[in-house]
Structure 1
Amino acid sequence: MSPPIRLLSSEIVNLIAAGEVIDSLAAVVRELVENAIDAKATRLTISIFPELWQVEVADNGRGISLENLRHCAKAHHTSKICDLDDLWKITSLGFRGEALFSITQVGQLTIKSRDATDYQVGWCVDYNQQGEVIKEETSPMAPGTIVTASDLFGSIPVRRQGLPTLKQQLKAIQGIIDNMSLCHPQITWQVHHNHKSWLTISPGKTPQQILPQLLKSVHFHDLQFLSETIVTPSQEEAKLEMVLGLPDRTSRGRLDWLKIAVNGRVVRSPQLEQTVLAALSRTLPKGRFPVGFLHFKIPPSEIDWNRHPAKTEIYLQSLQFWQDKVTEIIEKVLKLSPLTITTAGQNQRVKKLLKASENRGIYNIASSDSNELEFMKLRAVGQVNKTYIVAEHSQGLWLVEQHIAHERVLYEQIQDEWQLIPVKQAIILTELSSKQVEQLERISVDIEPFGDNTWAIRNIPKLLENREDSPDALIELSLGGDLETAQVAVACRSAIRNGMVLELTQMQDLLDSWKKTRNPRTCPHGRPIYLSLEESSLSSFFRRHWVIGKSHGI
């Protein structure tokens, strides 16, 4: 049975005086969807009729009792908070007791509902502008609720004229549904526009199943999902979930699909967004941005929701703590391990089947730990075109581009141990512009005038110590921007060149070093380092599933 709806005290009303802002069709959809999710709905049907200025949201949640229907549209009435302390431990999406009343202020409101605990009958109630019941009658229906808001802004024609265009409003509605479906992947969504099907989102166990339905260019295997249980500074338990587009597989031309959510709602958090971008620095090509969804499920005491009428901005306690955790989980996503390799999930399913057979005495398989260790063993078996290392592992073959794999190794070494060393004999450079001189000074290179339009370099990055092309490398550094750009240039200049013949031991050493890097999927310029040829794909291509007789034409 749904909890009783009560009138809030004047003290609480004053604290949340901003109320719900119903300024568009999208705002109506947002508030009604949040109420449905709070009612534990697993299926939502949203019908939008822009020309009629009507929105209808139907759900299969727990429903509303007749007693609560008589009060739910009144100002400051809610079942989700009772006293002042509840404002600091919000656990629901809608909580101010203003949404339905605000809708009555701008349109006509009708609610049909049947309480899930009442198997007798549903009720249909119409409300006036004060949220009071003007009509009440029985209505045959399944348990759940149907809320219809019609003739929206009809009494405020100036507001109607000032609303965004229909296209903009539909885009805003789609954005709300996209965000909510990621936060609540267990829900089935059906959206109709003028009686025609517009959006359908099937449920999933995690947001990894939802995101490819929203971005058609992104596939399930382009994404990696990780979930971690965390103990907060206040010693409470929390969960951090992340779906991240692997940088060697997917990215965007603009920063429009990096979403941060807290306790079931997407919010704006520039600090956390910058943390994600910093953790992915030098993993994507220039001008490309990540695809990602980060969901914090944390104790209410860690959050203040009362900062924005639309609840899109929050104050997060212990921000630095959460930023550190975000960095840690991204590092785990990017590493090469059985947990973050696409085939790992397939291997787990195979292991379950084999284990079932083992119990019947048919097979015998090794322990999970040994399989995982064996999975990540890469054995160099050859070199293709003096460019690609052929690496064998338990699930097939990888082609690893030797130059950019080594570049990734060197770049991270340089980051960790950036060191400038003195040179025995000064390196002379000529024809430098003032900006080039300033750049070298910025990265702490000891440079001084040495005659007319000539400069002497007294120290260089350690990796360039024994290279004959050090002067050329210094010219490259002088053209860069910040220290990070300079480090990338040094790594690129110092890495093994394509076209260089490598011994098997050299290939193996490179593979061992590369797979342990923090960001092994791409080079510092964002290029993918390896191509995976899995055993399952090879078997399919060579028709190894065919019956012997069939393959011989029998």
Structure 2
Amino acid sequence: MPDIIQLLPDNIANQIAAGEVIQRPASAVKELLENAVDASATEIKLIVTDAGKNLVQVVDNGKGMSETDARMAFERHATSKISNIEDLFKIKTMGFRGEALASIAAVAQVELKTRKTDEELGTCIEIENSIVKSQEPCATAAGTNICMKNLFFNVPARRNFLKSNAAELRHIVDEFIRVAMAFPHIFFSLTSNGQQVFHLEAGSLKHRILQILGTAYSAKLVNVREETDYMNIYGFVGKPDTAKKTRGDQYFFVNSRYIKSAYLNHAVMNAFDEMIAKDSFPMYVLFIDLDPSQVDINVHPTKQEIKFEDEKIVYAFVQAAVKHALAQFSIAPSLDFSLNADIQQMEAISKPANEDRLQSIASSNLFKTFTQKNQAHKIEGTNRSELKHWKDFYEPSSLELPSDLGSVTETGKLEQELEYSGYSLLKQGPQIRLLPDATLVQLHNTYIITPTSEGFLLIHQQQAHERILYERYIEAANGKQMPAQHSLFPSTIELNATDSVLMEELLPDLKVLGYLIEPFGNNTFVVQGTPADILQGNEKMVIELLLEQYKHFTSDIKFSKREKLVRCVAKQQAIKTGKAMAQKEMMVLKEELFRCQVPNVTPNGSPTYLEFKGDYLERMFGRQ
């Protein structure tokens, strides 16, 4: 048989290698920005067209390259950062493996213009599919100007996997922010399709944070700074009242390189223990500086995952530094010694015990079990007549549910009924006969008790309302647009650049759901109207929370953009636990729930109600 193993051509090998480094336009943006930083630039401009699919251009005023260096920069594994293996473990620059430009040239059309400050003429190189098309002297400004055009033009299958322009632009903005945040002493700008998205003047770290994350943090930042012989940590954390329900503004940098580390994030969360709610996440921008030999950054092509030689020391140091900073600024849980005014109205205060009441208490069985010997396990006989009304509660009734609220059966969904400790978690609803005229009871401002012909249902008001809203919004998303209520005084919302890009993407879908929002320029939007059944007055908070939920929507199932938005809106607008409801409100909620196609579970699968059956109630009281 003939030999079958052969060397791949250079252009194919380069395209395969490029797949690890350049996954989308944002990957190229990251590499080119880092190269500009390594070139000691003080001004870096990023220009993109069609979310980087047609053009990614980075212009810097760095030290530039000679004619030979410009040509060598596009060779695979050609780098000025490493000369021997020991250098790999003391890296202080952003790029070092010599793969970025070679990978970009393998999957795009590249034009490079560069000139050193001490030379009169620069060099212009055009490369396509890893092949140099031309190289000639040119007149250009000192520094480097590199254009990456038509990404994946020679790999159409890869290009088809790119997301929408809005989605890809969000990834570009994320990478831009991570580099710009790490180097506040450098001027950065980002222009997309001719519109300037960022204009970040050089300044302090705090100034850069406020430029990127918004001036709302101006009085909400706590300075963190600790220095030791082993490592230094500095940066800012947000005060506890800036914590959000979703992971938002959280940045970790090691030797000025952005990293993702659940381990270090846990250290910060521990430092905020008991200062914020368990389901909230603090804001932080933290920098760790330590000897490069103590950290391995070459464990992943994106260089965002690293390994520490002694991660336990780093964990303890981060946690202690954040705790110390919060303590210095007197930010800690406080005890409230003021007496609640409601306590003054309690019967124990307003009606002190008299002689007759004290004698009545002393003669009670409960008092005796605590004061007399050998009474701790005494169980008093129960008067069965006291339980006779329970039977009426779950005996079959002649009243039946009207036809429009009749039997509830879920079809084509989960075909399983889980019974545990006497109640049913209804995955496939059996015939439930509600008593339409029965009085409903709200328990702990969270649950609604409604009788049935065989027992009673315990409805969770928030999760039931979430199911109702979800089906209502799904119907709207499929063509029946929600009615909108125009605001008499439209409110203005100013977002950061990342959220502004996301808002632009969601505007058409939000309009379908009843939100009338228009762009007003400079990352500002005007809310002209909201869904008709939503109370007006807190539009800014509602929309900001909606964006946070959408950005960090997670699930094992891959949902469409509209499905994610519908789920977020339904969850956000649902009646919250702790809200007292009138009898009429509870009746409407119950009726609308059982008009739903799938009334027994929320969109994410949690139960909206539990059924307690009569036979279980019998067993509870020893009647079976």
- How far is 1:217 from its partner? 5.9
Specify whether residues 18 and 110 from structure 1 end up closer, same or farther in structure 2 by C-alpha distance, changes over 3 A only.
closer
Q: Tell me the equivalent position of 2:469.
A: none
Where do 1:348-427 residues align within 5 Å? 403=336
Displacement after TM superposition at 1:139 (Å): 2.4
Shift of residue 277 of structure 1? 0.1
Provide TM-score, normalisation by structure 1. Answer: 0.56
2:559 matched to which residue of 1? none
Aligned match of 1:309 in 281, 285, 301? 301
Q: CA deviation at 1:220?
A: 2.1
C-alpha displacement of 1:36: 0.5
Checking the alignment, whether the CA contact within 8 Å between 2:18 and 2:104 is kept in structure 1 is no
Write the mapping of 1:230-245 to structure 2, written as runs, cut at 5 A.
230-232=228-230, 238-245=231-238
The CA distance in 2 between the partners of 1:210 and 1:429, in whole Å, is: 69
Give the Cα–Cα distance (whole angstroms) in 1 for the partners of residues 187 and 113 of structure 2.
20
Q: Is the 8 A contact 1:107 1:154 kept in 2?
A: yes
Q: Verify: 1:284 aligned to 2:276, yes or no.
A: yes
| C-alpha deviation, 1:429, in angstroms | 12
2:236 is paired with a residue of what secondary structure? Answer: strand
Change in CA separation of 1:190 and 1:405 when aligned onto 2, cut-off 3 Å: farther
Distance 1:18 1:72, change over 3 A: closer
Q: Give 1:336 shift.
A: 3.9
Q: Residue 148 of structure 1: SS of its match in structure 2?
A: strand
Q: Is the 8 A contact 2:30 2:179 kept in 1?
A: no
What is the CA distance between 1:244 and its match in structure 2?
A: 0.6
Shift of 1:202: 2.3
After TM superposition, give the deviation of residue 48 of structure 1 in Å: 0.4
CA gap of 1:112–1:135, structure 2 versus 1, over 3 A, is same
- Give the superposition deviation at 1:315: 0.5
Q: Secondary structure at the match of 2:168?
A: helix
Separation (CA, whole Å) in 1 of partners of 2:20 and 2:253: 20
CA distance in 1, matches of 2:109, 2:365: 78
By how many angstroms is 1:178 displaced? 1.4
Please name the residue that 1:89 is paired with: 90
TM-score (norm 2): 0.50
Q: Is the aligned partner of 1:174 residue 2:167?
A: no
Contact kept? 1:19, 1:96, Cα under 8 Å: no
Match of 1:126 in 2: 126
Q: For residue 328 of structure 1, give the secondary structure of its aligned residue in structure 2.
A: helix
Structure 1 residues 283 and 94: alpha-carbon distance in aligned structure 2, compared to 1, 3 A threshold: same
Aligned to 2:325: 333
Kindly provide the amino acid, as one letter, of the partner of residue 107 in structure 2: V
Q: Secondary structure, in 3 states, of the residue corresponding to 1:282?
A: coil
Cα deviation per residue 1:249-275 (whole Å; 9 max; x = unaligned)?
x22221222221111221111111101
The 8 Å contact of residues 184 and 264 in structure 1, kept in 2 or not, is answered as yes
Q: For residue 449 of structure 1, report the CA deviation from its aligned partner.
A: 7.3
Amino acid at match of 2:377: F
Instruction: Say which SS state the counterpart of residue 228 (structure 2) adopts.
Output: strand
The equivalent residue for 2:404 is none
Partner of residue 101, structure 1? 102
> Counterparts in 2 of 1:82-231, with a 5 A limit?
82-116=83-117, 118-130=118-130, 133-206=132-205, 208-216=206-214, 218-231=216-229
Cα distance in 1 between the residues matched to 2:253 and 2:93: 14
CA deviations 1:255-300 (Å, max 9, x no partner) are: 2222211112211111111010011011124532201011111111
8 Å CA contact retained: 1:20, 1:99: no
The one-letter code matched in structure 2 to 1:255 is: R
Tell me the CA shift for residue 102 of structure 1. Answer: 0.3
The amino acid that maps onto 1:327 is: Q
In structure 1, runs of 5+ residues without a counterpart are: 1-12, 233-237, 342-399, 407-427, 431-447, 455-554
3-state DSSP class of the match of 1:125?
strand
- Specify the alignment match of 1:72 in structure 2: 73
What amino acid maps onto 1:239 in structure 2? N
What's the secondary structure of 1:77's corresponding residue? coil
SS at structure 1 position matched to 2:83 = coil
When residues 183 and 449 of structure 1 are mapped into structure 2, their CA distance, relative to the original with a 3 A threshold, is farther
User: Which one has a bigger Cα radius of gyration?
Assistant: 2
In the alignment, the residues of structure 2 paired with residue 173 and residue 63 of structure 1 have an alpha-carbon distance, to the nearest angstrom, of 24
Question: In 2, distance between residues paired with 1:78 and 1:264?
Answer: 20
Residue 48 of structure 2: aligned partner? 48
Distance 2:88 2:365 in 1: 66
Q: Is the 8 A contact 1:18 1:309 kept in 2?
A: no
User: What amino acid is the match of 1:223?
Assistant: L
- In 2 relative to 1, CA 309–92 (structure 1 residues): closer, same or farther, beyond 3 Å? same
> Identity percentage over the alignment?
30
Distance 1:162 1:176, change over 3 A: same
Seen in structure 2, the aligned counterparts of structure 1 residues 278 and 66 have a Cα distance that, compared at 3 Å, is: same
Alignment partner of 2:240: what SS? coil
Distance 2:278 2:365 in 1: 29
Q: How big is each residue's C-alpha offset from its partner over 1:105-132, in whole Å with a ceiling of 9 and x where there is no partner?
A: 111111111112x2412221112433x5
Q: CA deviation at 1:145?
A: 0.6
* Counterpart Cα distance in 1 of 2:128 and 2:324: 55
Q: Classify 1:119/1:158 alpha carbon distance in 2 versus 1 (closer, same or farther; 3 Å).
A: same
Contact 2:213 2:249 in 1 (8 A): no
Contact kept in structure 1, 2:226 and 2:232, CA below 8 Å? yes
Amino acid at match of 2:208: I
Choose which of 253, 256, 273 in structure 2 pairs with 1:261: 253
Distance change in 2, residues 1:153/1:451 (3 Å): farther
Unaligned runs of 5+ in 2: 1-12, 340-363, 367-374, 382-624
Tell me which residue corresponds to 1:450.
Answer: 377
Cα distance in structure 1, aligned partners of 2:82 and 2:377: 76
What SS class does the counterpart of residue 33 from structure 2 fall into? helix
1:247 equivalent among 216, 240, 249: 240
For 2:196 and 2:81, the matched residues in 1 are separated by 33
Give the total of aligned pairs: 334
